[in-house]
Structure 1
Amino acid sequence: MLSLIRRLINSKVGLIITFAFLAIIGLAFAATDINGLNSAATPTGDTVATIGKRKLTETELRSRVQSEMENARQQQPGLDMISFVNNGGLDGSLNRTIDGLALEQYGLAQGMVVSKRAIDGQIASFPSLQSLDGKFNQKLYEQLLAQQRLTDQQVRADIARSIIGQQLMAQMGRANPVPLQLALPYASLLLEKREGQVGFIPTRAMAEGAPPTDAEVATFYKRNIARYTVPERRVIRYAIVTHDQLKGSTTPTEAEVAAAYQAQRAKYAPTEKRTLVQVILADQASANALAAKVKAGTPIETAARAAGLEPATLTAVEKATYAGQSSAALADAAFAAAKGAVVGPLRSALGFAVVRVDAIEQVAGKTLEQAKPELIAALTKDKTARALSAMHDTIDEAIADKATFAEVVADQKLTAQVTPALLSDGRNPDDATVKAAPDFLPVVAAAFAAEQGDSPQLVPMDQEGGFAIVGLDRVVPATAPALAQIRPAIARDFAIDRARVAARKISADIVAKINKGTPIAQAFAQSGVKAPPIQPINASRAQLASAGRNVPAPLALMFSMTEKTGKLLELGNNEGWAIVYLNHIERGNAANQPNIVQATRADLGKVLSNEYAEQFVGAIRRQVGVKKNDKAIATVRAALTGQGGAN
């Protein structure tokens, strides 16, 4: 029940946590990156978990974690793998993957089948695989599979797994309001108010102390080696082919310009455009009557509205266009009449038309010389696009025939470049002043998706057809620099940590005194530390719930305390320690607030649905049988965070 209350207070309701892994499929396709869908690939590496008859390997888990981290980085650009793993990313990915595989095996054992048609529909529904007309584009799908080194069978297996999971969990996501008597205590809890005080012992208020010895620095470095470990980096070889690079070799000849001019002669011929106001009537008699009024001097707009119609104005329309919209006879008459003349009634495609000529515009044609700049630009763009496409296809075929990066670049006479050892977000840890350009990140992503010895990849670079040939030169394992190389930084961190520990001891002494009855102000004064003034804090649980994740940590801690007690709270970034004291609790009563009770009933229903879903998946895991290999999981964790390389 305590976990139920915490979820309600923090507004974490309505979440079917079990199926977060399904989002990977949609996100991956939407970002034109289906690298996360490799769970059906040939298993490689040690087994991290056995789910029934299915083995989940280190390679599969690592790939899944990397894919989820990349998706998370879309929301948090500064996120790195170490932070992602340390905040539960690895454990979350592992559990979601195990849940998905367990549900799949359970569903198959119950006779569940996913039809080919259902999978086809899922694939065809991804927007990134649709042409401009909204229809599924098989070529785009095949290109994505080739770029990510996946097969159609692998993708279909993952989609089938997700559909089985969705079907099994569909009923679990439905929430039903709980009884009023059960909801009332929780609704009253939201109205609870608390009042207390908070004081701070800053790390910077501690004495500086003696410089650390070599032994202290070495011990601190060894104990905190993960902090100084540089994650895995990769040296990338690449060559970029852009639209602008080929422009010089795709300039059209005089003959090509002349041919294009002849092919578009109608476009450059002199033409006449007219602005017409027309009224369409259903029968001849009504059209004759309206035409008579207009020719007698009544404005066509007035005559049309008197008949319950609204005239249409066609601005700057050409004869051929108008003939297609109406009829050849009507177009001939309208374009033969003088400005201000009234034509009709004549039969059109929709009825009988009465037309007034409002304006006549003579558009001069263009000679070949006048049209040449426009023609050259259009022909150059077209020839360049075709040249880019042809080069792309040639390189793609060469790669399929096992050509190396060096062979491809030499054959196409391209300029190859080599990056320094880059992190997965494109940064060079040896030069913090340089950041990867956003348009270069696809190259980095491709290199980090590759394995040593893989064939080069073709990566789209722009909307004009430009692309890059990307090869993985070498992998620099995650490692920590030598102690001597970063000793000043370690010494500084040691001094800060020493001050943090000293601040904690003083803070713990203050808490001990408070809990023995010493007033908080007196306990702070006796510490001898020059601390900031003690601040009052107060709020209701409803305020905490509405603030979501933006609740200050001391305020959140106060709502987990017993009245007339103090607690210690560490601040982030080695800032120091907070001492929170709870003075008073004012109990809430929602008996006379039906709106709050009803909302609580609904929220509790969602939370309980999540509980049922977790229990259901847990039962399936027990029935299918799940065994984790803690050693293999630790190996994956070390590889992702750089501990393996450092050790």
Structure 2
Amino acid sequence: MIVTFGILIVIALAFAAGDVTGLASGGGILGHPLASVDGEKVTADDIRRRAQDEIRSARQQQPDLDMATFVRAGGVESLITRSLTGLALETFGEEQGMRVSRALVGSELKAIPAFAGATGQFDQQAYLRLIAQRGMTDAQVQREIARETMAQFLIVPTVGASQVPQQLALRYASLLLERRVGQAALIPASVAGPAPTDAEVQDWYKRNVARYTTPERRVIRYALVTPQQVAAQAVPSDAEIQKAYDADKAKYAPKPLRDVTLATVLDQKAAQALADKVKAGTPLAAAARAAGLEARTITAVEQSALATQTSPAVAAALFGAAQGNVVGPLRGSIGFVVARVEKVTQDPGKTLAQARPEIVAALTKQKANDAIGKIRDAVEDALADNANIAEVARDQKLNVQTTPAVLSSGINPDQPQAQPDATLAPVIAAGFAAEDGDTPTTVGIGQDGGFAIAALDRIVPATPIPLAQARAKVVADLTADRARRAAQAAANAIVAKVNTGTPLAAAVAQAGVKAPVERVEATRAQITANQGQVNPVLAMMFGMKQGSARAIQAPDGRGWLVLRVEQIVPGDASKQPAAIQATRADLGRAIGGEYAQQFANAVAAAQGAKRYPDAIATLKKDLVGGDAGQ
């Protein structure tokens, strides 16, 4: 929610990623209302478009995301909450006398990078063209920016809250120190009973067909442009090599070098005293150390490089001094420099013949990049004129290739043992980001400046694997499920007996299960000790009453765990100030968001925000049934 109210982030990402059609969530859009605030409605048409845009944007990171997955994950409810909260905050702010000026809306609009032209400044024509492509009007966009700005006015001060009372931090710190002792027994999921019948296998397959369904695949056409393809154009001539050598004569010419030791002193008198001591025979490093300073040594340095590290005057003095001479104190970029020339050497430079290999390598790379750049410019111009991949490839004499029907990972399900070509990863990503009828696109490949033209050829919908082919896996899954269910039933029976007073070991024995009973002990802080990941077993243990038992599926899937809490030892952080401060800091990083969430919820309730569950359920059903492939 907080991210939603970051005006520049939300609006800029919306236009850049395509989430623009959902911006107008108020009146004027026809469709069934899903929610409302003070006469303003969140419509089904609005949420439908927002959902489609969010999926399109999310597919850049999760190419196989579909509408059904989005709906099951609570995406529709999230969109409605965001829209409803935005409307509630807007009406609340207006009731408090707050207003968002047109000037502020304009300045926020002009700051959105997606609307910048070639000069980097706001381009009115680009803005109008982009919002028209997304079915928006200028008034709708400005209305949404005003709404988001109002929300920001109200939310940002709350998010900034980070102060946590000492007593509150003490309570939380003490909770983390709470210790629990109990018993645990693993009820194994062992395979037993007759093999499943054909009827049982078929029934399991029908009920769990999603497990045996090959996800959506795509066939992608592509053409590669690599440095190897322009190698003939990238060979530098002798004249170009000579020209490059002449242009860099200073680089290849003979030059004097120095090894120097320097110390910087802020006070001129102290610097003079240091220089006198060094000139009297004390090594500069030792003299500097005695004065509480640290000398540094620079080896094989040119005068120009030394000038940038000290000052031109210091560099000139050092390069004018003989080996062993002490220079200074001289004013450097900071303070006064005392230096000693440790060694004088001469870089002989390089002749053209000696420099030729590195010049040829640099020119070859530059010319290859230039050639590839010209091809890419020509390709993108042609694509902008609605040319297809075959036409572009013919004009540029490229070879068009076609992938098999692959998953978003690049794997071909028909040859699962074959590793996907890593070079084609950007091509596959582009293919899964495209929709039917989209213009081909160019994507960079490798690290050498090459690129590819990628075009979606066709989409192969998710397809169930025939039972005959999947039978072995179906039987294995069905058998494993039976074993898990049997273990769960046994665990539940043991839990029932333990909760009526039977010791855990006795209950396990009465169930006829061979499962040793082990002692377990942990603190609440251990729940997230594994890099912040929640341990579900410990989480359940710390949610139980003393003397009670519960069952949970073992994290490794080997069966079911029966846990009994025998002792609860409360934590006390009152004598651990470091723990309190650490907890206080952790809470401070999160409490602003919690305050903002509660504030937004309170505003929505105060403004009479309403949801219409039947309409929401109808939309979700329609989205999954009719638009799952959008």
- Same fold by TM-score greater than 0.5: yes
Counterpart-to-counterpart distance in 1, 2:254 and 2:370:
32
Report the alpha carbon displacement of residue 456 of structure 1 after superposing the two structures with TM.
0.7
The answer to whether the 8 Å contact 1:404/1:456 transfers is yes
Moved more, 81-90 or 247-256: 81-90
- Once the two structures are superposed, the pairs formed by residues 157-196 of structure 1 within 5 Å of their partners are 164-173=150-159, 174=161, 177=164, 193-196=179-182
Number of the residue aligned with 2:54? 64
1:535 offset after TM fit, Å?
Answer: 2.0
After superposition, the Cα gap between the structure-2 partners of 1:67 and 1:433, relative to the gap in structure 1 and judged at 3 Å, is farther
> Cα deviations across residues 609-631 of structure 1 (Å, max 9, x unaligned)?
26623523643784487775323
Aligned to 1:35: 17
2:262–2:297 CA contact under 8 A, matched in 1: yes
Higher mean C-alpha displacement, 80-89 vs 385-394: 80-89
Residue 577 (structure 1) aligns with? 560
Q: Is contact 2:7-2:152 (8 Å) kept?
A: no
- Judged with a 3 Å threshold, the aligned counterparts in structure 2 of structure 1 residues 19 and 327 are, in CA distance, closer, same or farther, namely closer
Residue 476 of structure 1: how far off its partner (Å): 1.6
Deviation at 1:197, TM superposition (A): 2.3
Mapped partners of 1:472, 1:45: distance in 2: 33
Give yes or no for the alignment of 1:197 onto 2:161: no
* Preserved contact between residue 181 and residue 567 of structure 2 (Cα < 8 Å): yes
Deviation at 1:522, TM superposition (A): 2.6
Secondary structure of the corresponding residue to residue 248 of structure 1: helix
Q: 2:619 aligns with which of 632, 636, 644?
A: 632
The answer (yes or no) to whether the contact 1:47–1:58 under 8 Å persists in 2 is no
Q: What residue identity is the alignment partner of 1:58? A: R
SS of residue matched to 1:442: helix
Match of 2:79 in 1: 94
Q: How big is each residue's C-alpha offset from its partner over 1:483-531, in whole Å with a ceiling of 9 and x where there is no partner?
A: 3332232222222223333333333333333334333323222222x43
- Gaps (5+ residues) in structure 2? none
How is 1:350-499 mapped onto 2 (pairs within 5 angstroms)? 359-499=343-483
Closer, same or farther in 2 for the Cα pair 1:557/1:364, shift >3 Å? closer
Indicate which of 182, 200, 215 corresponds to 1:216: 200
Q: Which moved more, 1:598-607 or 1:439-448?
A: 598-607
Structure 2 counterpart of 1:453, one-letter code: G
For the residues of structure 1 that align with 2:66 and 2:245, how far apart are their CA atoms?
57
Aligned position for 2:599: 613
Letter paired with 2:192: A
Indicate conservation of the 8 Å contact 2:33/2:612, yes or no.
no
Amino acid at match of 1:466: G
For residues 16-73 of structure 1, the C-alpha deviation after alignment (integer angstroms, 9 at most, x for no partner) is: xx3255799869999xx953744558999998956645653435314424645765x7
Aligned length in residues:
597
Question: Which residue pairs with 1:4 in the alignment?
Answer: none
User: Are the structure 2 counterparts of residues 116 and 574 from structure 1 closer, same or farther at C-alpha, using a change threshold of 3 Å?
Assistant: same
The C-alpha deviation readout for 1:229-275, integer Å capped at 9, x for no partner, is 33322211122223343233211122322333333344444444456
Change (3 A) 1:187 1:579: same
Q: Give the 3-state SS of the residue equivalent to 1:210 in structure 2.
A: coil
Q: CA RMSD in A?
A: 5.8
| 2:560 partner letter | W
Of 207, 211, 216, 2:192 maps to: 207
Shift of 1:453: 0.5
Partner of 1:111: 99
CA gap of 1:534–1:382, structure 2 versus 1, over 3 A, is same
Distance 1:65 1:99, change over 3 A: farther
**Counterparts in 2 of 1:339 and 1:616: CA distance versus 1, 3 Å:** same
The answer for the alignment partner of 1:521 in structure 2 is 505
Hey, what's the Cα distance between the residues in 1 that align with 2:397 and 2:564? 73
Task: State how far apart, in whole Å, the 2-side matches of 1:621 and 1:317 are.
Answer: 71
> Residue 248 of structure 1 corresponds to which residue in structure 2?
232
Q: By how many angstroms is 1:315 displaced?
A: 5.7
Aligned to 2:391, what secondary structure does the other structure show?
helix
Confirm or deny: 8 A CA contact 2:227 2:368 kept in the other structure: yes
Instruction: Deviation per CA, 1:180-234: give whole Å up to 9, x if none.
Output: 5x88887776665443322232221x41323322x32222222222222333222
Offset of 1:415 from its aligned partner? 1.9
1:375-418 CA distances to partner (integer Å, 9 max, x unpaired)?
A: 22222121111112211111111111111111112211112221
2:517 alignment counterpart: 534
CA distance in 1, matches of 2:503, 2:488: 19
SS for the counterpart of 1:249 is: helix
Report the TM-score, using the length of structure 1 for normalisation.
0.71
For 1:112, give the aligned amino acid: V
Q: Distance in 2 between the 1:83 and 1:572 partners?
A: 27
Q: Per-residue CA shift, 1:144-183, capped at 9, x if unaligned? A: x99xx99999999998776554432223332564695x88
Q: Secondary structure at the match of 2:414?
A: coil
Mapped to 2, the partners of 1:346 and 1:589 lie a distance apart of 64
Q: Unpaired runs of 5+ in structure 1?
A: 1-17, 130-134
